[in-house]
Amino acid sequence: MGFSTSLQGQSAQEALLIRQDAEIKLLESMKRCLALKVKSDREYASTMSSLSLQVKKAERYDDLFGSLINQSWKDIMDSIDQTAKLIKQQADSMENIVVEQISNLYSERRRARKAFQEEHIWLNNQFQQLTDDVARKKTEYQKNLEVYKLARSKFEEHYINRPGKGGRKLDDVREKYQKACRKLHLTHNEYVLLIGSVTECEQELRTSYLPKLLRRQQAIHLEFIVTWKGILQDVVKYSDFTSENFLEIRSRMQAAVDSIKPADEYKDFICKHRTRQAVPLLFTFAENLDDAPGTLLPNKLAIDNLTIDWLKSRLNELEILMKPIQASRNENGFDTSKVAIMDYTIEREQIRLRCKEKKFLREAGIIRSALNELGCEEVPSGCDLSMADPFVEQTSTLIKKKFLDNGMLSLRRNKKTKSPFKSMSSINESNNEGASLKVIRKLSHMFEQVSCDTDNSSIYEKENGDLINEDWFHGVLPREEVVRLLVTDGDFLVRETTRNHECQLVLSVCWDGHKHFIVQTTQEGHFRFEGPSFTTIPELIMHQWNSGLPVTARSGAILKMPICRERWELNNDDVELMEKIGRGNFGDVYRAQLKTSQTEVAVKTCRVTLPDEQKRKFLHEGRILKQYDHPNIVKLIGICVQKQPIMIVMELVHGGSLLTYLRKNSSLLGQTELLSCCRDAAAGMTYLESKYCIHRDLAARNCLVSLESVIKISDFGMSREEEEYIVSDGMKQIPIKWTAPEALNFGKYTSLCDVWSYGVLMWEIFSKGGNPYSGLTNTQARERIDAGYRLPAPEGTPEEVYTLMLRCWDYQPENRPHFNQIHSAIEALYRSYLRSN
């Protein structure tokens, strides 16, 4: 088998041209790479030589007198210098011999390719010319045949329909008829002769010239490969670092290392630098602190109303801290003989625990001793600080600031709520409370009490009850969704966000991009931007919209069109959660009821504590589902974003997951019921494929079963509305055993990846809820799939069904069937089983 017998087809010859182009590019790439290798080797050799020279200059032999390591290092650096010279020699040979040969081969390969292309074009032109000649003669023949038919019909009309009538008219018709007849016969003969000659010519080109051309090309290709192989052999030769010269240098380096005797290395050093044992460090209390009051003595605890509670608290804290440390030390005893000599990790941890324990014991001992000397539990007399003292004022200010920063600012804004705090003067007057420490504790307790009394509802919902009824208020809709809604300059809406644990209202406007303005609050509890303030948010927004003034002078943003909530944006209060029925990646799943229609629904909730990025991913499923309407796709009813928690409201599919359904009813399910499940899933996936939606997580656990045993595809959290999707966030949460190889290996998802997953889903259905690749880890399953392993057919699976599974598991995505083909095949099998039953 060779070129002349196997490559005569037009596509094969074009493929040969493409192969020649690829070989030319490969030669060009090799030439470029080898040139870079020569450059790199020369630079490497130059760097090693320079390094060796610099090391020799920088060595301080006085400090390393008598060091065997130093002498060995010197010998090694000399050997490295010799190695650099050899590498440079090989690089020179590589450039002068190998790169030159590749350049010549590259030029010859291009000339050969050009010659073959010219012959290929000439041959195609010859075949085309023969085809055109035949086509032209055929057209001429058909034209003369039409003329002949017309002349004949006219002649018959005069001769047959008007018998006995002669005349000039009949003679003209007869003459035209005879002329057309002669011309037709002449053209017919020319056509016959042309067919014969063209056939001979085509056979000569095809059976003689073309095989000779291909045989010559094969000989040229083989000759090139022989030359090419020789060049690569030279590449190996001049890249070999195991030649005798290199081995000799290596032997010298090894001898230099062998000359080192570790026991003798530090003898002279120890004798020269012998010293006494280390002197301990001394830590003393600084006694020259002139500003300290006389009651504060060095190395003695100050026990008064300012410190006694703290000391007792600190003592309890130390006792609590010591328990886990002592338990850890007792449990984690270690044998130093089993620890690597340079691994200080365990020993260092033990030292840390011992030091910590001793510090705590010392602190506790000092505190107990001081309290025992006091001999009572009462607060000793001392200088009580009044509330006017700067320390108390500063502490109360810090507590107040912390309180306000934690999102309780609305208490100050609320006009109807009286201040829960006594005035500072009244606190100051109650001297029977005694120490300022108690005042601070009381103040802190009062702030904490108010914090506990505040619920999780939006502060703006409390203060602006009408705001939630405004169509342009979108609640806690994430910024990503907001940007999607605002498309024209002047479009605006209001939403709620959280910054630094504080709820804030934000006006989002499309204006030269997207701008977001935080609603400012005045000391009187009014709301404003840069202009006048208003008592409610709706009044502020209406003023800004009707006045046509920019929100801020710097932005120039003007409100033109309020963007109302979409029809699928529901009010959280319209949904009544009834019973928890599951748990998802983002929160819990509930059976719930819509108050407006008394309809039972399923509700997915998003945990309030999740970051905004996770909330956006949570809403992604709702955005996918809202545009789909198919009996085998779970229906979206709405999304609740008016306040936390965000919720996705879907139809309630009472039968639960397909996986649970298969396992519970395994004994009741026949082939027809199993095929019905496959058919429903295929119908749903056919619809998704037509919408360019890649599900990415198709499995029995993510399909639901209705009371009528209809299968519905659900869980679109990983879906993407693209023809092709490239993963960029790693392999987190990817269902390995359901995912196609190209998605696992290259992160590339298409609808054909869902086809692979559908094959696994079919296997789950016919195994009645079995675990695919049971007994194999994800890594083992992935490796075996790449090696060609496929799941065996579940017991009782029809041969046609398993054949379809294997087609879905073809390693090459383009060889897998599309979902419309799968659905047609399953539908045909299903009808066949219905008829047979």
Q: Nearest-CA neighbor of 546 among 504, 492, 506, 475? A: 492
CA dist., res. 655 & res. 706, Å (int): 5
Known binding residue 585? Answer is: yes
| In the block, residue with structure tokens 């009472």 | 654
Residue 727 annotated as part of some ligand binding site: no
**440 is known to lie in a ligand binding site:** no
According to the annotation, is 582 in a ligand binding site?
yes
CA–CA gap between residue 648 and residue 589 (Å, rounded) = 9
Q: Residue 521: helix, strand or coil by DSSP?
A: strand
503 three-class SS:
strand
Instruction: Give yes or no for a contact between 198 and 130, defined as CB atoms under 8 angstroms apart.
Output: yes
* 589 annotated as a binding-site residue: yes
588 is in an annotated binding site: yes
Q: Is 531 known to sit in a ligand binding site?
A: no
Contacts of residue 488, defined as CB under 8 A and 6 or more positions apart, other chains included, come to 510, 560, 561
Q: For residue 134, what are its two tokens? A: 């035949």
Among candidates 729, 722, 727, which has minimal Cα distance to 739? 727
Q: Is residue 51 classed exposed, middle or buried when 0-12, 13-18 and 19+ CB atoms within 10 A define those classes?
A: middle
Tell whether 268 is in a known binding site.
no
Residue 669 per-residue DSSP state:
-
Cis peptide upstream of residue 645 (ω within 30 degrees of 0): yes
- Alpha carbon distance 675, 718 (integer Å): 26
Angle formed by the axes of helices 751-766 and 671-690, nearest 10°: 170
Token pair belonging to 85: 């010279």
Q: For 196-229, give one letter per residue: b (16+ CB within 10 A) or e.
A: eebeeeeeeeeeeebbebbebbbebbeebeebbe
Residue the block writes with tokens 């290392």:
257
Return d(Cα 604, Cα 493) in angstroms, integer. 25
Judge whether 730 is annotated as a binding position. Answer: no
Does residue 505 sit in helix, strand or coil?
strand
9 carries a ligand binding annotation:
no
DSSP SS3 for 472: coil
Tell whether the torsion through CA atoms of 420, 422, 424 and 427 is positive or negative: negative
Nearest to 459 by CA among 401, 527, 533, 407: 407
Residues tagged active-site = 697
Output the DSSP codes for 348-380.
HHHHHHHHHHHHHHHHHHHHHHHHHHH--SSPP
Q: Pick out the residues of the known binding site for ATP.
A: 581-589, 604
Q: Pick out the residues of the known binding site.
A: 581-589, 604
